[in-house]
Each structure stands twice: as C-alpha cells, then as structure tokens.
Amino acid sequence: MGIIPFRDGAYATGSNRATLLGRLFPSLVYYTRMGPIVWRSSRKAKKGLYDRLAWEKGSHEIIEALESVGIDFHVTGVQNIAAVQGPCVFIGNHMSTLETLALPAMILPFKRTTFVVKKSLVEYPVFKHIMTSCNPVVVGRTNPRDDFKVVIEEGGKRLQDGISVIVFPQTTRTPAFDPTQFNTIGVKLAKRANVPVIPLALKTDAWTNGKVIKDFGRIDPARKVCFAFGEPMEIRDKGREEQALLVSFIERHLGEWQHEWGAPTA
C-alpha cells in the first residue's frame, strides 16, 4: 500500500526513530538531511525523470528525515482516499512548509495529485524544478479574482486528466485556524468539476514559520505532526453545507489534538 506502512488507514511513527544528534540539534540535522534529498530530486526533475514514484519516494525521505530528529507523525483516515474512484479535491488548513513536502507520500500511493501553489514556489532555486515537474496550479496571490479563474480553469483541467488537486484555501500559512480566512474556492472547484471533496485537517507546527525566510523555520520535535483525512463529500447546491462541514472537521480535529498533545503555537 505504498512506501509508508498504512494499516487500517493509519500510520504512526515507531519508537526509537530519532538519533541522539537529531534530538540535540533537530533543525541543523534535519536541514542537513533535507538538502541532499531536495538536490537529488531537483536533478531528476531537470532531466524529466521525476515521476510519480520518485515524488512519493522523495516525500517519504522527508518524513524519515523529520522522524530522525524526533518528530512523531500521526496519520488517520487514509482509507478514505482509497475509497474514491477517480480524482478528487483535497481541502485542508495550511500551517507550514511541512504539509507540502509530506502529503505526496500519503496520497500518491492511491492517486495522482498536484497542488494549488503560490507563484514563488515555482521560482525557488533548486526546488522550482521539483514543483514544476508536478504540474501544479499556480496562483499569484495578488488578485483574488484572477486566482479564482486560474484555479477553476487549470484545476478543472487537472481533474479532467484524472489528477487530484490539493487546495489550501487560507490566505496564508498560520498555526491558528481562522474560519473567516478559509475561502470556498476548493468547494467551487469540486462542484464545477463534479468530483468529491476529501476534508483534510492537519497540525504541522513542528516546522515553524521562519522569521527571515518563512519556508525555513525552526524544527521543534516537542510538537507532534498530525494529518486526518475525512470521508469524501459530494458537493450539492452551492456547497454551503459542505463548506461548513469542512470547517467543522478541521476545528474538531485541531481541538482533539490540542487536548491530547497541546495547542499549536506561533
């Protein structure tokens, strides 16, 4: 069932994954391991060799690198991905860089997929080759009307081609979830393309947002990383009920994780 050993639709980091050096210097050790992974993947992408399996493998290596410095992963609901025939739209909250790198390892064993990403991600040195090879839907984040048109048109094309689309409707990454900033673009894309939505709740504040470069912040092993995939939903009418269910799904899981493992912090 893919590289990550999902059992009953779940995955949890095993014991003794972290090295002593990783626990002492988590950020240094992680980024030292991450660099070669990204470099190798980028070289493959530049040669046109970065296929679905290579992307899944690189994403799994990122998860292993995070686990080696003491990050524990807790993933549930993976069976809901396998239950959908054909493409779908994954809609979730957005906390950090971590989800962009880790989600492919969870989804690609079951479905081809891509992201809606901001333009800067396809302009990063080295990383841009990886991102562009995955045929993302690229938005500028300067004109909401233009972005909406791009997501509906280009996202629709990906879905027509059998490629699922991962959408983070929040205007920016943040540890705190604000429903007022969680727009309906994902629901509208699914409605227009006549495909189901899979809700996605995540807690990834173990990779903090950087103060100088937002994508490269401190790694904090004290914070557990959590992903939960919900049951697929068909979008009916204008999608208001489904949008409310998405928000409720995310808030419920964040509340449960906060109760069990502590609240996300900035």
* HEC letters along 191-253: HHHCCCEEEEEEECCCECCCCCCCCCCCECCCCCEEEEECCCECCCCCCHHHHHHHHHHHHHH
Task: State how far the alpha carbon of 127 is from the alpha carbons of 97, 245, 250, in Å.
Answer: 12, 34, 29
Residues β-bridged to residue 134: none
Weakly modelled stretches of the chain, pLDDT under 50 = 1-2, 264-266
Residue indicated by tokens 């333009």: 119
pLDDT score, position 23: 86
pLDDT score, position 265: 44
HSE, CB side, 13 Å, CA atoms: give it for residue 99. 29
pLDDT score, position 175: 85
> Is 9 in a helix, a strand, or coil?
coil
Residue indicated by tokens 């989600």: 103
Q: Whole-structure pTM over 0.75, yes or no? A: yes
pLDDT score, position 212: 62
Task: State how far the alpha carbon of 91 is from the alpha carbons of 31, 126, 152, 234, 241, in Å.
Answer: 28, 27, 14, 13, 15
Please name which of 69, 78, 99 lies closest in space to residue 3, comparing C-alpha atoms: 78
Pull the structure tokens for residue 183: 């727009």
pLDDT score, position 16: 66
pLDDT score, position 261: 72
Q: What is the dihedral of CA 13, 14, 15, 21, to 10 degrees?
A: -60
pLDDT score, position 90: 98
pLDDT score, position 252: 96
Pull the structure tokens for residue 26: 């988590």
> Is 175 in a helix, a strand, or coil?
coil
Q: Which long-range contacts (CB under 8 A, 24 or more apart) does 5-9 make?
A: 6/75, 6/78, 6/109, 8/79, 9/76, 9/77, 9/78, 9/79, 9/80, 9/82
pLDDT score, position 262: 67
- Distance between CA atoms of 221 and 49, rounded to whole angstroms? 33
